[in-house]
Chain A
Amino acid sequence: MIRLVRRPMPSRGWALATPLLAVLLTMIAGGLLFAALGKDPLVAIRTIFWDPIMGKNAFYYRSQLPVKAAPLVLIATGLALGFRAGIWNIGAEGQYIVGALCGAAVGLGFYPAEGWYIFPLMVIAGALGGFLWAMIPALLRVTFGTSEILVSLMLVYVAENLLASMALGAMKNPDGFGFPGSRNLSQYPAAANLEIWPGTGIHWGVIAALIAVICAYVVLARHLLGFQIKVTGLAPRAARFAGVDPKRLIVICLGVSGALAGLAGMFEVSGPSGIVSIDFNVGYGFTAIIVAFLGRLHPVGILLAALLMALTYIGGGIAEGQLGLPSAAILAFQGMLLFFLLALDVLTNFSIRLGSGQTRGGV
């Protein structure tokens, strides 16, 4: 008989080892999956994980790494704060879209004016848009007790429709010969979020992501708010005795994660994407959930996890072109990663005992 015995404290060693083990297992299972699709598994794994950093053309792909990782870091850092406290914002994709729309609206509104103040205003609008979109589930939760999981998720579909109507209507490029999509913000100097150092892929969103990681680290390690978040996640009742106001915490956690997701959307629409289009959102808001868990809900871990996930995006793109691997394979791959991670976490929280040990009476 194998028995699980709860550890008095989660094992620190396993907590650090499980993400690595999960990545390894995902590679093996992914290899089997690719073999089942009729691809050479070793070539597929090398194309996804090795070629973007070390293969030929790596100089280009390496600059893509921060571009893809920055939105994931921004969103996941915010989500992790809530997840730690048991507050489940799973609608970051919607907040990302609304943030992008608000940021783009400011930029397009000023077109073709020039001025240093335009881009900062767009940043503020983007954060505010995501914040307000996240306030819908937050306020419904604190006033009516409505599940923030379902409301935030429903709002993703609302935001996607809003995006479509904007791309085809209000924000459509008047000089675009009738094609859907807005003006290209990355070609409008006052609003463009361009690379700060050419060739590195580092744009303002990357800087913002790093600042967010540092702030989240400080808040969690040193600030009272961080203590309140952690204690609420571990023992909600104890938290109330310690003077934590659960409603305030819900509003803060959802608000911060919404604002960060909105920022991510705004940096994306003014830089790498440039255009408000129907297919603007590519699922960063959902992948960020995996990133948050893979990074152990810790800011530094999230930074590393986001880089890994960005790698699979880029590698997946290369594999799509070179090996004909379907783009959806990467989605399945990422889902698998989360499964293995959650499964292995049993080792963090429990120790495994062989033999029956002391059996309890009755059953």
Chain B
Amino acid sequence: MGGIDPILLLASLMVASTPILLAALGEMVVERAGVLNLGVEGMMIFGAICGFAVGVGTGSPSLGFLAAALGAAALSMLFGVLTQILLSNQVASGLALTLFGLGLSSLVGQSYSGIKAPPSLDFDIPLLSDIPVLGPILFQHHPMVYLSILLVIGVWVLLRHTRAGLILRAVGESHDAAHALGYKVVAIRLAAIAFGGALAGLGGAFISLVRVPQWTEGMTAGAGWIALAIVVFASWRPWRVLIGAYLFGGVSVLQLNLQAAGFKVPVQYLAMSPYLITILVLVLMSARRRSATAQAPADLGKTFHASS
């Protein structure tokens, strides 16, 4: 295992974790509002192609990220209308969103395979990035990496310390009570779904514009599903989402490095490891939660119908 540079490994950990972190954070907000959107994978991959197409078209990765957020948020509104206005089953609608997103993105992406993404510059934070060892690990990354951490702080403040966050949580815990208090349950949930979509789109675009950086069909490879698992792992708390995402990012970076270092295990078995560890963590979390009180929002996944 001599071929692995620990500094490079830790630095790429932050890059590898960012897409999952963004998607999981968005989904956490959606779930705190009481909506289970299983379409994260579909929104991510759609964000990946939107971001890539606009990034290549305009030559500006920033516009690409903007387009990814808007595109995936628009896609998430399909799910929103279906579940909030037409009162469809959330599990089925989320699956439909994923299948549709995968199909639509490979359709849009036909002419983009094999093209390189426009170069996006890493942003070295002045002074801090010059610190030996810590500098390259923490402070020489793409701006989106820092933005994702700022978003964690933002979501935490929002949920914990603002009135808007309190209302959002109330809607997720008991939509009937929130409705009786005069809050617009459907509007709040739609806003949460759009926010989740935008973050999933950013996460997808980060993969296609920064991490890889090019477009291939199905390139998110289950990152959206891992994000869903991380929300469970995090017990619906922002900081634990951060920890979870970095943990999984670490696993996937480590297995990639082991592959590159010619570790004596077939590549495919290493490639399985992030998924197997996701399952393991899910089991540990659900086994532990049996004794504690349930931490999921009480009305998660339930359909709200005002006149019932």
Contact = CB atoms under 8 A, between A and B. Distances in A.
Interface of A: 3-6, 33, 37, 88, 90, 136, 140, 144-147, 149-151, 153-158, 161-162, 164-165, 168-169, 286, 289-290, 293, 326, 328-336, 338-339, 342-343, 345-346, 349-350, 360, 362-363
Contact of A335 (B104, B110, B179): B104
- 7 nearest CB pairs, A to B: A335-B100, A331-B103, A332-B103, A328-B106, A165-B268, A338-B96, A161-B268
Interface string B256-298: 0000000000111101100110110011001101100000000
Contacts of B4: none
Interface string B91-121: 1110110011111101101100000000000
Contact of B96 (A156, A164, A335, A350): A335
A336 B91 CA distance: 16
With most chain B CB atoms within 10 A of its CB, the pick from A140, A154, A334 is: A154
B87 A4 contact: yes
B252 to A, nearest CB: 12
B162 interface: no
Given A150-B278, A154-B278, A5 B307 contact: yes
Given A165-B266, A335-B100, A349-B87, A149 B38 contact: yes
A6 B267 CA distance: 53
B88 A346 contact: yes
Contact of B275 (A158, A165, A286, A360): A158
Given A146-B283, A146-B287, A165-B266, 17 more contacts: A3-B307, A140-B283, A144-B286, A151-B279, A162-B268, A289-B99, A293-B92, A326-B106, A332-B106, A333-B103, A335-B99, A339-B78, A342-B82, A342-B88, A343-B88, A346-B88, A363-B182
B282 A342 contact: no
A339 B96 contact: yes
A165 B269 contact: yes
Contacts of B95: 90, 289, 338
B221 interface: yes
B91 A149 contact: yes
Given A328-B106, A342-B93, A153 B268 contact: no
A328 B103 contact: yes
Nearest to A325: B107
B232 A150 contact: yes
Nearest to B96: A338
Contacts of A333: 103
Nearest to A166: B268
B88 A345 contact: yes
Among A136, A162, A335, chain B packs the most CB atoms within 10 A around the CB of: A335
Contacts of B78: 339
Contacts of A330: 103
B193 interface: no
Given A146-B282, A290-B99, A328-B103, A342 B92 contact: yes
Contacts of B96: 290, 335, 338-339, 342
Counting chain A CB atoms within 10 Å of each CB, the highest count among B81, B232, B278 belongs to: B278
A336 B81 CA distance: 14
A360 B276 contact: no
B180 interface: yes
Contacts of B8: none
- Grouping DSSP codes into helix (H, G, I), strand (E, B) and loop, the B interface class, with mixed when no group exceeds half, is helix
A5 B308 CA distance: 8
B81 to A, nearest CB: 8
Given A150-B228, A157-B222, A332 B272 contact: no
Contacts of A33: 107
A164 B103 CA distance: 23
A334 B287 contact: no
B92 A286 contact: no
A346 B102 contact: no
A286 B38 CA distance: 14
A151 B282 contact: yes
Contacts, number: 150
23 contacts: A4-B87, A33-B107, A140-B286, A144-B283, A145-B287, A157-B275, A161-B269, A162-B268, A164-B268, A165-B269, A168-B268, A290-B99, A326-B110, A328-B217, A332-B104, A335-B100, A338-B92, A339-B82, A342-B89, A342-B93, A343-B82, A346-B86, A363-B182
Given A150-B229, A360-B307, A362-B182, A342 B86 contact: yes
A77 to B, nearest CB: 17
Contacts of A140: 279, 282-283, 286
A236 B11 CA distance: 48
Contacts of B286: 140, 144-147
A336 B100 contact: yes
B305 interface: yes
Nearest to B107: A328
Contact of A157 (B38, B82, B221): B221
Contact of B305 (A6, A144, A289): A6
Nearest to B93: A342
Contacts of A334: 99, 103
A150 B268 contact: no
Nearest to A332: B103
B225 interface: yes
B45 to A, nearest CB: 11
Contact of A346 (B87, B103, B226, B307): B87
Contacts of B279: 136, 140, 146, 150-151, 154-155
B114 to A, nearest CB: 15
A335 B106 CA distance: 13
A144 B287 contact: yes
A339 B95 CA distance: 10
Contact of B225 (A5, A145, A150): A150
Contacts of A346: 86-88
Contacts of B109: 328
Contact of A362 (B102, B180, B217, B305): B180
Contact of A332 (B100, B179, B180): B100
